[in-house]
Amino acid sequence: MSGPRIKIIIIATLALINAFFIALIVADAVGEARTERETLANVSAIMRAGGVEIDPGVIRAAAPARTAGGIRAMRTARVLEVEENIARAFLGPASMTDQGVIYLYESAGRGAAEFASAGDFQIRMDRGAITDEGGFARTVAGLLKEMKVETSEPVVSQGAIGGAATVTVVCAYRSVNIFNCAIEFVFGEGSLQVVNGRYVAGIEPTEGGKGISQVGTALLIFLAEVMDAGREDVACARIFGVEAGYRHSVSGSFGEGVITPAWLITTDNGRYLIDDTTGEVWGF
């Protein structure tokens, strides 16, 4: 048999083998998708039987998020360079005073910033130091870029009197929200007045950290709390949204902490946060 013919046979054989494996992969994916649909339909039925309505489409939209950004427990730490960068975004060059676990930054004619070890901070701006001439959302977007803190899209709540407004952003890690870490920008009289919030820094993956559970598990935990007569603070008749993300907690006096997988459930009775590690549920 000639050399060219042998090559043709080898190439054809490899193509058939590749096609076979692709068919297996597709069949496996179809099987997984079917199993997921059936599981979510069963979860929806259980929720309805427990008195909670939910659209299966809401669950399906949340399901892929369980792996987004590799949602798993990670360590956090205080990073002074991040604090300095945030302060500089608002105050420019500023003098820093160390008061134990509190750091103060002050700038003449602009304002002052105070940072605590847990990531909590407050920045009080002098009137006119940062104006809102470009619009509240655009002003905040520019400040966030200077701060170099990853967040969700700004949400603007504007008052009817004097153009006062509050712009809120939720901190994030690799596009996944850290639900209990948010920053609030308060505007009034044409300029930024105060910034309050909590951010997370020094995030380090932990080896073998447990990833977030299936969305159905979180929903059944929530349903059990709704049906618990002793939990009057957890109640709902309909779920409008389910989102996978993180919850931040501080474990040390100098800012050491963790972010752990969590689920945010939006209902007709408010929002609830589920700690995926402990199963704890509370209003948020």
**What is the distance between the terminal CA atoms of the chain, rounded to a whole angstrom?**
75
User: For residues 255 and 269, is the Cβ–Cβ distance under 8 A?
Assistant: no
User: For residues 283 and 272, is the Cβ–Cβ distance under 8 A?
Assistant: yes
Characterize 111-149 residue by residue with b for buried, 16 or more Cβ atoms within 10 angstroms of its Cβ, and e for exposed. bbbbbbbbbebebbbbeebbebeeebbebbbebbeebeb
pLDDT string in tens for the chain (284-residue length): 555 555 444 444 444 434 444 343 334 434 445 666 787 888 888 889 989 999 888 887 776 554 544 788 899 999 999 999 999 999 999 999 988 789 999 999 999 999 998 889 999 999 999 998 888 889 999 999 999 999 988 888 876 455 689 999 999 998 899 999 999 999 998 899 999 999 999 998 877 667 888 888 899 999 999 999 889 899 999 999 999 999 999 887 777 899 999 999 999 999 999 999 889 998 88
Quote the pLDDT of residue 157.
Answer: 81
Which residues are 248's β-sheet partners? 259
Quote the pLDDT of residue 20.
Answer: 42
Measure the CA–CA gap between 165 and 139, rounded to whole angstroms: 12
Packed helices 3-49 and 215-227: angle between N→C axes, nearest 10 degrees: 0
In the structure encoding, which two tokens stand for residue 279, read together? 């199963």
Predicted TM-score (pTM) of the model is 0.82
User: For the chain, what are the domain ranges?
Assistant: 42-74+209-283, 78-201
> From the CB of residue 152, how many other CB atoms can be counted at a distance below 10 Å?
16
Quote the pLDDT of residue 119.
Answer: 86
Pairing of strands 53-54, 238-250: parallel
Quote the pLDDT of residue 70.
Answer: 75
DSSP state letters, 85-104 = HHHHHHHSS-EEEEETTEEE
Q: Which helix (H) or strand (E) holds 145?
A: helix 136-147
Helix (H, G, I), strand (E, B), or coil: what is residue 21?
A: helix
Residue 143: φ, ψ to 5°: -65, -40
Residue 135: φ, ψ to 5°: 100, 145
Q: Which long-range contacts (CB under 8 A, 24 or more apart) does 252-256 make?
A: 252/117, 253/101, 253/117, 254/78, 254/101, 254/117, 255/76, 255/77, 255/78, 255/101, 255/117, 255/118, 255/119, 255/202, 256/75, 256/76, 256/77, 256/78
CA distances from 79 to 90, 152, 199 (A): 18, 21, 11
Secondary structure E strands in the chain: 53-54, 74-76, 95-99, 102-107, 111-115, 120-125, 155-158, 165-173, 176-188, 191-198, 204-205, 238-250, 257-267, 270-275, 281-283
